């Protein structure tokens, strides 16, 4: 390779390395801000300030969903299998909302420690199954509810 | 190897060679696209929770995965343009940006469709996967407008190569966003060879065929638009005029 070409290639590589390092540091510094939601454990450990508007993500704990009969009010508990946070919400839930499903709720903690949600979104995991496979797995007693929202972190 | 490399830089040589490849590439593209789309959109089994909505993902996954290839391609082309002054690489980079913007747009559109049904929202500004993908679309639009704004092709190539570096870093962020941060978007599905377990072959073989089809579509589109660009840039040269007279 001719010297002037090597020099040019060097400049390009230098810029690329510099930008990568800059972006890497920025992303690292903003780690918590880039996260979409807090886990119930993070909430229990007091990582969220009082009165703060935030999002919480976890699984809908099986057997905890209580719907009102005369309104759209619903109560349920979200969990990451370490800590639980009770959630209260009034509104239409996404079709995918059900027990054992991952959700992300947006709102605030009230004085009683109940999360008052203004929005509830359903999170879908990375597993795709046909109804036959799901039925076969359930019959065999294999757990298909092994999903942890957030994955890493 | 260097002879072959510098030969590839000759627009005339590329035009003739790509003319020989094109019919085969187009035939392969039509075959894969037909099998992938018919299988994916008509015969794919429904998901136990999503029903038939999961079929959107056949298109979404293939286009989204392919859309990550554009910035690396443009960076390589940009480096070749700047270091070896190969005009052909510059033409490829120019058209890759336009195609890449379309791919990014289709990724966002199909993803929104699926999200509006499954998540209950079509867009979330706080999801790093979604926002980094939108950033890629804006970067590509930036590259396109930069190129049309700068008349000097050397300056344009430099500016676009710089943006391509940023774009490549962003590609890494798009890819790993779902693992590094909490997102609404799910992580990549692990494939399974066992048809009786989640993500079995009945789901991913159709996706794989679509990915091949979309890559073939990308190659065919890129070659066709580069050939057009060659004819336009070299319209005063002898070989192009001969070609026009012959047809």
Domain residue limits at A41: 37-139
- In DSSP notation, B120-150 reads S-S--TT-HHHHHHHHHHHHHHHHHHHHHH-
pLDDT band of B238, cuts 50, 70, 90 = confident
Same domain, A50 and A81: yes
With pLDDT > 70 as the criterion, what percentage of chain A qualifies?
Answer: 90
pLDDT band of B139, cuts 50, 70, 90 = very high
Which carries the bigger pLDDT value, residue A63 or residue B75?
A: B75
Same domain, A107 and A90: yes
Q: What's residue B12's pLDDT?
A: 86
pLDDT band of A13, cuts 50, 70, 90 = confident
Question: Residue B117: is its pLDDT beyond 80?
Answer: yes
Is the Cβ pair B120, A121 closer than 8 Å? Answer: yes
Nearest CA to A125 among B162, B196, B198, B123?
B198
Is the Cβ pair A35, B182 closer than 8 Å? Answer: yes
Q: Could you tell me if B124 and B181 are in contact, meaning their C-beta atoms sit under 8 angstroms apart? A: no
> What is the per-residue pLDDT across A47-56, written as a single tens digit (0 to 9) for each?
887 788 999 9
Same domain, A82 and A109: yes
Q: What's residue A153's pLDDT?
A: 34
Same domain, A22 and A69: no
What's the ipTM? 0.75
Which carries the bigger pLDDT value, residue B188 or residue A30?
A: B188
Q: Could you tell me if B180 and B174 are in contact, meaning their C-beta atoms sit under 8 angstroms apart? A: no
Question: Residue A67: is its pLDDT beyond 50?
Answer: yes
Residue A32 distance to chain B (closest CA, Å): 8
Q: What's residue A125's pLDDT?
A: 82
Same domain, A14 and A89: no
Q: What's residue A152's pLDDT?
A: 34
**Number of domains making up chain A:** 2
Is the Cβ pair B188, A149 closer than 8 Å? Answer: no
Question: Residue B63: is its pLDDT beyond 70?
Answer: yes
Q: What's residue B1's pLDDT?
A: 64
**A 97-116 → B contacts, CB under 8 A:** 97, 104
Same domain, A73 and A19: no
């Amino acid at each position: 390779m001719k010297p002037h070409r090597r020099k040019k290639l060097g400049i390009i590589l230098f810029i690329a390395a510099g930008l990568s390092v800059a972006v890497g540091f920025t992303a690292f510094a903003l780690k918590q801000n880039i996260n979409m939601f807090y886990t119930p454990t993070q909430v229990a450990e007091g990582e969220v300030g009082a009165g703060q508007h935030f999002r919480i993500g976890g699984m809908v704990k099986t057997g905890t969903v209580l719907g009102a009969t005369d309104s759209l009010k619903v109560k349920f508990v979200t969990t990451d299998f370490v800590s639980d946070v009770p959630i209260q919400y009034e509104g239409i839930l996404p079709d995918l909302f059900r027990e054992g499903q991952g959700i992300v709720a947006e709102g605030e903690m009230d004085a009683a420690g109940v999360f008052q949600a203004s929005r509830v979104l359903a999170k879908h995991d990375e597993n795709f199954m046909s109804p036959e496979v799901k039925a076969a797995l359930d019959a065999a007693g294999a757990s298909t509810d092994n999903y942890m929202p957030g994955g890493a972190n | 190897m260097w002879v072959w490399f510098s030969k590839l830089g000759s627009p005339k040589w590329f035009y003739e060679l790509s003319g020989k490849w094109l019919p085969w590439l187009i035939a392969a593209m039509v075959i894969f696209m037909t099998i992938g789309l018919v299988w994916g959109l008509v015969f794919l089994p429904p998901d136990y929770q999503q029903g038939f909505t999961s079929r959107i993902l056949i298109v979404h996954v293939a286009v989204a995965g392919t859309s990550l290839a554009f910035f690396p391609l443009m960076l390589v082309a940009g480096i070749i343009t700047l270091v070896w002054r190969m005009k052909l690489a510059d033409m490829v980079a120019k058209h890759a940006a336009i195609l890449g913007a379309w791919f990014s747009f289709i990724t966002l559109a199909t993803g929104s469709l699926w999200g509006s049904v499954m998540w209950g929202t079509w867009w979330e500004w706080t999801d790093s996967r979604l926002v980094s993908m939108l950033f890629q679309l804006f970067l590509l639009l930036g590259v396109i407008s930069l190129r049309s704004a700068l008349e000097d092709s050397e300056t344009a190539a430099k500016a676009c190569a710089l943006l391509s570096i940023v774009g490549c870093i962003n590609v890494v962020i798009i890819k790993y966003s779902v693992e590094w941060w909490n997102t609404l978007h799910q992580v990549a599905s692990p494939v399974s060879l066992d048809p009786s377990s989640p993500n079995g072959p009945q789901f991913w073989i159709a996706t794989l065929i679509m990915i091949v089809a979309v890559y073939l579509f990308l190659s065919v589109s890129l070659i066709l638009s580069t050939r057009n660009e060659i004819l336009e840039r070299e319209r005063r040269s002898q070989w192009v005029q001969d070609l026009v007279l012959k047809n």
